[in-house]
Amino acid sequence: MTTIKTKKFTDRLFENAQPIWEKSHMHPFVQEIGKGTLSEDKFIYYMKQDYVYLVDYSKLFAVGVQKSLDLKMMQNFSKTLNDTIHFEMDLHRSFAAEFGISHEELEATEPTPTNLAYTRYMLNVAQNGSLVELVSCLLPCAWDYWEIGKLLRAQYGDQMASNKYAKWIETYDSEEFAAGAKWLIELMDQLTEGKPERELAQIEKHFQMTSKYEYLFWEMNYSKEEWPI
Ligand SMILES: Cc1ncc(C[n+]2csc(CCO)c2C)c(N)n1
């Protein structure tokens, strides 16, 4: 008997996002983290912007708690919220301490135009859209960082001992982050089962849009974007 493997909705999301994700993977900011050659001023800029990004991104998990369909889902959203504000942001706090930047300074960072547009897009969908639309905004961030962690380890794993950003790569290539991304992938497949194409297309639109914002975030860090006035 032959078994036919049906394509999951997340396979479609993954395949259609590849042109955008590949641009992120090849971006000099990402590649230079991998090689350890990224200038410290760009990395500090990123840590500060990402810190305030994560404050808003975490609120999406809180909305996820509110919109959960059962207790297990609620536990998963609240665990990820907790992990992000404690463990993931500890990475930023410890890198900042290394570079002489306090928690207060991190927290007082004013988000740049790209950062603000990205988080406002997601928060708007989270607050006015359905649970699955919320998940479609969360997913590219978690999934593509996991992809980037694996990619940089594969490309530059042998140079890790001398890479000052090794802790960053190790964090996103870790089992914990893989588990978080896998949970969101499964949740997306579960929530889209049997949904009509009209709804799937809307979900894919958010997925593509937040993937594009992920790319723009790398670009923003590399050019150290500022408000013009
Ligand atoms: C701009 C930006 N995008 C994605 C991440 C990565 N990230 C944010 S929360 C989380 C855990 C979700 O399960 C992960 C992997 C980041 N730090 N900054």
The mean pLDDT value for 64-71 works out to 98
- Assess contact for 188 and 135: CB atoms under 8 A: yes
The mean pLDDT value for 108-126 works out to 98
Tell the residue number behind the tokens 């993931």, with chain if given: 88
d(CA 193, CA 132): 11
pLDDT score, position 6: 84
Q: CA triplet 123, 217, 131: central angle to 5 degrees?
A: 25
Position 5 confidence tier, pLDDT thresholds 50, 70, 90: confident
pLDDT score, position 98: 96
Q: Which of 88, 119, 167, 209 to mutate to test the pocket of ligand 1 (most atoms within 8 A of CB)?
A: 88
Judged against a pLDDT cut of 70, whether residue 2 lies above it is answered with: no
Ligand 1 atom closest to Cα of residue 138: 12
d(CA 139, CA 159): 30
DSSP state of 129: S
Question: Could you give the angle at which helices 40-67 and 113-128 cross, rounded to 10 degrees?
Answer: 10
d(CA 180, CA 175): 9
DSSP state of 161: G
> Domains of the chain (ranges plus CATH)?
9-223 (1.20.910.10)
CB atoms under 10 Å from CB of 228, counted, come to: 5
164 Cα–ligand 1 center, Å:
20
46 Cα–ligand 1 center, Å:
13
Of 4-13, 142-151, 217-226, which range is least confident? Answer: 4-13
Judged against a pLDDT cut of 70, whether residue 1 lies above it is answered with: no
- Assess contact for 21 and 211: CB atoms under 8 A: yes
The mean pLDDT value for 123-146 works out to 98
ipTM: 0.96
- Assess contact for 160 and 187: CB atoms under 8 A: no
Residues involved in catalysis: 141, 214
Average model confidence (pLDDT) for the chain? 97
Percentage of the chain beyond pLDDT 70 is 99
**Integer angstrom CA distances of residue 111 from 27, 131, 138, 154:** 21, 26, 19, 32
> The whole model's pTM is what?
0.96
> Of the candidates 25, 95, 46, which has an alpha carbon nearest to the alpha carbon of residue 220?
46
User: Per the structure block, which two tokens stand in for 203?
Assistant: 């979900």
The mean pLDDT value for 36-44 works out to 98
pLDDT one-digit tens code per residue, 150-207: 999 999 999 999 999 999 999 999 999 999 999 999 999 999 999 999 999 999 999 9
Number of H helices, E strands in the chain: 11, 0
Helix, strand, coil percentages, rounded to 5, for the chain: 80, 0, 20
